[in-house]
Structure 1
Amino acid sequence: MSFNQLAKDRPRLLIVGGGYVGFTVAQKLQTRIKESGGVVTVVDPNPYMTYLPFLPEVAAGNIEARSATVPHRQNLRDCELIDGRVENIDHANRKVTIRGIDEGPEFELPYDEIVVAGGSNTRTFPIPGLAEKAIGMKTIEEAVSVRNWVLERIEVASLTDSEDAKRQALTFVVVGGGFAGIETIAELEDMARTAIERNDRLKVSDLRFVMIEAMGRIMPEVSKDRAEKVVAELRSRGVEVLLNTSVSEVDRDLVKLINMGDKSPAGELATDTLIWCAGVAAASFIKNSDLPIDERGRLRVGADLRVTGDDGPFDGAWAAGDIAAVPDLTGAGPGGFCVPNAQHAVRQAARMAKNIMAAHQGEPLQDYYHEGLGSVAGLGLYKGAATVRNIDLGGLPAWLMHRLYHGYAIPTVDRKARVFTQWGLNMVFGRDTQPLRHLHDPRRAFEKAAGVKVSDAKASL
């Protein structure tokens, strides 16, 4: 679709971001707004919604990558879809500046109402060498790359005669002890253990997984007792859990650690793999707007999900999800705001869709209120952790709850069927530990065939 083909004579509800919030709002409103003579326009660089809680399972090979995504064009047929990114929001004049993907053309798009649902990015810090070495766990591409990289390191280690090189290849470091980090390291360790058991040149004791967390505990979303039990389980599996510890510098393959208490050096780790899961930050494009943001870079919104400044709500502006500071009326959220997770995002989107239609019909809006039943986490096959109505669960019951909840929560019947089918096949045939090589460099074979010199430099994530 070219700019000239975009609707110009219909009221436009512009949705910035096609993740949980954007996808859900668009799905719920597309037909009703089309029938009323308007158009819903969704702008996102990706042509799909990524179900982020499944990224650790994609990295571990439990789910195929595409099954953890929900395609826009198949499910938002009554929407106007733009694969691009919003670079500026001028709400005073009701227009945005959009840049097409792959540095495509830039153009302005007018709107009547806007839903800002741009989500979040990986939160990083100005640590020397971090950007050059680490990889996140925030996109489907990162999850696939991590999976293949870890399995490739195992094969590399099995063919080296150098104990130092083997140790470095089989040392996997994950930074961040929240849900993302814990699920990532637990799932990867489970997968790596299976892969090593299938390789007679290595033994499981060759593996070294290290979890680094700057705080004194992990998983603040669950009870302290359950978090301590998760730490105990990880350590029983050989995972080193370093609390009150952070990364001070990354010097090529050497990760230097620091004690967060007295800021003293806390050792070094020689590793080929550094996975960064130390939290998220609101998408930065929102700073290029005339909408109010708080000290953490999030949009200020009211409990009814309208963007709200010091003088009250902004007419025609809505926001929810990770990019917004949504008040948590239950009082359970840190700082009085909802935590940035999928559970809140999906429910906020449903409430927002109802409020948008209520506003169109002159009806009163309702505040977002959700008292969570608890939280669930997968820690590898048949292993999990959960806190449900203040009851702590572990092992198989928690793992089953994790799978049932997220299998239910991913949108569309198509994706639910694919996910449950793949889980079932894995239970029958076992975990798939086959890596796909050179996904980061797919032209490698062709360049070699064409006689072009392929770089001999050491591969990296």
Structure 2
Amino acid sequence: MSTTERPRILVVGGGYVGLYAARRILKKMRYGEATVTVVDPRSYMTYQPFLPEAAAGSISPRHVVVPLRRVLPKAEVLTGRVTTIDQDRKVATITPLVGDAYELPFDYLVVALGAVSRTFPIPGLAEQGIGMKGVEEAIGLRNHVLEQLDKADSTKDEAARRRALTFVFVGGGFAGAETIGEVEDLARDAAKYYPNVSRDDMRFILVDAADKILPEVGPQLGTWGLEHLKKRGIEVYLQTSMDSCVDGHVVLKNGLEVDSNTIVWTAGVKPNPVLSRYGLPLGPRGHVDVDPTLQVKGTDYIWAAGDNAQVPDLVGRAAGNENAWCPPNAQHALRQSKVLGDNVISALRGFPQADYKHANKGAVAGLGLHKGVAMIVMGKMKIKLKGRLAWYMHRGYHGMAVPTWNRKIRVFADWTLGMFLKREVVSLGAMENPREEFYEAARPAPAAPAAEKSKDKPKAKAG
């Protein structure tokens, strides 16, 4: 890490907002005008809309992530966490992955920590649940599902077989509906290679506490998506929650009980809880409270956007909804990061701030190969699409939205190869514990018990 007399712009978080805001600032900044420092515990940004396709094997895991140091060559990238912020001294405490924590002074601060999975104190969830916030979880889920098919195909224990072939998904929003659609596609394809497993042997269950799924695309398309999943043999239980899942025994509020090795949790997100240690004004749900300029209320040198910010929706408020807030999606995060970057440069040069204002352009969702829903907003007109055409819209939008041309080309190459080559259905679960086999081979043999040693000793002759 270099030392400099130039003003330091500290970006906390290297996710969607952090990456794009830093790129915008570096693009607009004059040479030597400031130092941009990005801090994140991971050295890469994850494009989360692609996680369901990564879990299904449609996209290589490496193409879902963007290395920060490669994309931000003119910035300092520190792999660690910002644990506390002293606003009076303008100093942040950095805790690196190794070594002691240290203080880092800053002049301008961008808070882009994003969100974490929103969970509830459900017995067994921490031990049994699988999230879908990171590429590690997506690839872990893929390996886990294929491993369950391996187990079911090889066992003679009918209870173990049913447990392995039962897949429970909690949450019917974008993440939940897209993930169960993609994973069901994966399992259906993979079953062709297992002589003792068919799709009819599997049980897919989707649970949501709301009365509908995919609320982001509207009630009409949400209803179509619900019926589509049901036609594929997926059981959907709405206005239902999970009471417990201790040792994989799932108990739902409606009385249904099943045993499952696979419990995927996608029931929403919440702001990163570390925000409570930064001394920033927070809204009722833990988001950083910001003005339309994306400046944190009461400050002129701190900005926040994305999933960890409570951003006023000026378009909605102009239409009469005084409590309108921008939803936490990639569409708003991308545009907020650009306005945020421009405002940081304006503050650096003493210019006035600009408000963030964006009208929703719609939403797209993929429900597996060649299946999807899309709502496109054009002025006052809403175009609703479903099926293969909506799926093309989904892939086209996100394929162009993923950062850098390097990743765009690689993603489209994955999709193109998928048109001609069959889906890979190999489980690489051993990758999660790569040293296990070597450890078994290299560890010293256990010492023989004392009783056995005494048996091996020659007996002393009498006399």
TM over 0.5: yes
Query: Residues of 1 paired with 2:396 and 2:445: CA distance?
Result: 50
Question: In the alignment, is residue 201 of structure 1 matched against residue 230 of structure 2?
Answer: no
Could you tell me how far 1:163 is from its partner in structure 2?
A: 1.9
Q: Which residue of 2 aligns with 1:457?
A: none
Please name the residue that 1:138 is paired with.
133
Which residue pairs with 1:100 in the alignment?
96
Q: Which runs of structure 2 are paired with 1:37-436 in the superposition (5 Å)? A: 37-101=33-97, 104-259=99-254, 266-308=255-297, 313-331=298-316, 335-389=323-377, 390-436=382-428
Alignment gaps of 5+ in structure 2: 447-463
Structure 1 position 432, deviation (Å): 1.5
Task: Give TM-score, length-normalised by structure 2.
Answer: 0.92
Residue 352 of structure 2 aligns to which amino acid in structure 1?
Answer: P
Matched residue type, 1:351: V
Query: Structure 1 pair 367/452, CA: closer, same or farther in 2 (3 Å)?
Result: farther
Measured against aligned partners, the alpha-carbon deviations of 1:172-210 in whole angstroms (never above 9, x if no partner) come to 111001100000000000010000022222111011110
Instruction: Say if 1:400 and 1:97 are closer, same or farther in 2 by CA, change over 3 A.
Output: same
Work out the CA distance in 1 between the residues paired with 2:136 and 2:272: 18
1:297 and 1:336 mapped to 2: Cα distance?
17
Residue 438 of structure 2 is matched in structure 1 by 446
Aligned twin of 2:455: none
Change (3 A) 1:34 1:141: farther
1: CA distance between counterparts of 2:445 and 2:301? 56
Q: Distance in 2 between matches of 1:9 and 1:357?
A: 17
TM-score by length of 1: 0.92
| AA partner of residue 48 (structure 2) | L
Mapped contact 1:304–1:366 kept (Cα < 8 A): yes
SS of structure 2 residue aligned to 1:29: helix
Which stretch of structure 1 is more off in the superposition, 435-444 or 354-363? 354-363
Higher mean C-alpha displacement, 231-240 vs 93-102: 93-102
Per the TM alignment, residue 150 of structure 1 is displaced from its structure 2 partner at its CA by 0.3
Partner of 2:31: 35
CA contact (8 A) 2:346 2:353 kept: yes
- Displacement of 1:435 in angstroms is 1.5
Letter in 2 for 1:148: N
Which has the larger Rg? Answer: 2
| Cα distance change, pair 437–351 in 1 and its aligned pair in 2 (3 A) | same
Given that 1:33 and 1:40 are in contact with CA atoms closer than 8 Å, whether structure 2 keeps it comes out as no
Contact 2:214 / 2:222 at 8 angstroms: preserved in 1? yes
Mapped to 2, the partners of 1:89 and 1:251 lie a distance apart of 39
How many residue pairs align between the two structures? 439
Give the residue type in structure 2 aligned to 1:385: V
User: AA paired with 2:68?
Assistant: H
Following superposition of structure 1 onto structure 2, how do residues 2-13 of structure 1 map, counting pairs within 5 Å? 5-13=1-9
Where in structure 1 are there 5+ consecutive unaligned residues? 260-265, 455-461
- Inter-partner Cα distance in structure 1 for 2:445 and 2:97: 30
Q: CA deviation at 1:306?
A: 0.4
SS at match of 1:292: coil
Q: Alpha-carbon deviation of 1:301?
A: 0.3
Give CA deviations for 1:88-135 in whole Å, capped at 9, x if unaligned: 122222111111125x42111110000000101111111111101101
Distance 1:16 1:218 in 2: 33
Give 4+ residue runs of structure 1 displaced > 3 Å after superposition.
31-34, 332-335, 451-454
Q: String of CA shifts for 1:19-66, please: whole Å, max 9, x gaps.
A: 111101111222544614310000000101100000001100001111
Pairwise CA RMSD: 1.7
Distance in 2 separating the partners of 1:240 and 1:15: 43
Cα distance in 2 between the residues matched to 1:362 and 1:451: 64
Percentage identity across aligned positions? 46
In structure 1, how many angstroms separate the alpha carbons of the residues matched to 2:88 and 2:48? 33
Q: Residue 437 of structure 1: CA displacement? A: 2.7
Q: Which whole-Å CA distance do the structure 1 matches of 2:217 and 2:356 have between them?
A: 22
Equivalent-residue separation in structure 1 for 2:322 and 2:192 (angstroms)? 43
The one-letter code of the counterpart of 1:258 is K
Q: Which residue type is aligned with residue 343 of structure 2?
A: N
1:447 CA displacement: 1.6
- Once residues 48 and 34 of structure 1 are traced to their aligned partners in structure 2, the CA distance between those partners, rounded to angstroms, is 26
Aligned to 2:452: none
State how far apart, in whole Å, the 2-side matches of 1:151 and 1:91 are.
Answer: 49
